[in-house]
Amino acid sequence: MAAEIKAVMLAHARSGSTMLMEYLDAQPDTSFAHEVFHQHRVHLPAFMPGAAGDAAALKARRDADPMGFLAELVAACPTRIFGFKWFRGHAPAVRRALIADPAWRVIILYRENFLALHASQLTARLTGRYAQRGPAPGAALPVLSFDPEEFLRGYAAYRRYYDDLLRDCDRQGKAFLMVEYQQLSRGEFLRNAARRLGVAAPVEATPRLVKQGSTRIEDRFADPRPVREVLERINRVHWLREEDHFFAPPNAVASSQ
């Protein structure tokens, strides 16, 4: 059985992609896969045999014919809807081909607060923990150092990445669904994403991932002064906190006052 509906989530690390992926994967008659085109490892969907085989041989086969490999996954998919997530650095030809193909639906997931994303990346690298489920662990999260030049380089590359995605979709006349990280806290946005994939009656999905660290982003850094200075320079001082969002749940807004 081959999937009838195909979708790709174009995202960036630490943008909430695992949460959205797991929510979509839990929907009726839907299979949503992890990083199929990860640079170092093939993350096969659960329905695909061979996950425990020769990882190097699997990666070599995938890299030799990325679109052919993707066609294999679609053909083997046991559900009506198939999707996977794609990050910057994953097989650029695949992204271009799927944007150009009217048969593929596109979700673009982004995180407006790049300081929060940057802090999350630094924390994950230091702790080796890239997702948190349930209560926070007992060990305290590391206090972060801030390198202004590293931050600005990362932000420039981040902007270029999403600018390229938007331009590619626009040039190809591709309709897409844009989802922002904080919208993932609202069931309405999650259900809307599922409906855009063709799920008629979205269901709730558990467990939910939880945020690691304080929503007061500046508190994660040993010295917040250079953080503030850089944000003032680029007119993004509001990034010091992430919970103040129009679509945030009412209790989150109240607690931020």
Q: Which domains, and CATH codes, for the chain?
A: 5-211 (3.40.50.300)
What is residue 27's three-state secondary structure? coil
Between CA 103 and CA 21 the distance in angstroms is: 20
pLDDT for 245 beyond 70: no
18-60 confidence digits (pLDDT tens): 999 999 999 999 999 999 999 999 999 989 876 556 889 999 9
Q: What is the mean pLDDT of residues 132-150?
A: 78
pLDDT of residue 247: 73
Residue 59's nearest CA partner among 93, 81, 35, 87 is 35
Mean pLDDT over all residues of the chain? 89
pLDDT for 243 beyond 80: no
pLDDT for 254 beyond 50: no
CB 144 within 8 A of CB 218: no
Q: What is the mean pLDDT of residues 227-256?
A: 78
CB 125 within 8 A of CB 30: no
70-128 confidence digits (pLDDT tens): 999 999 999 999 999 999 999 999 999 999 999 999 999 999 999 999 999 999 999 88
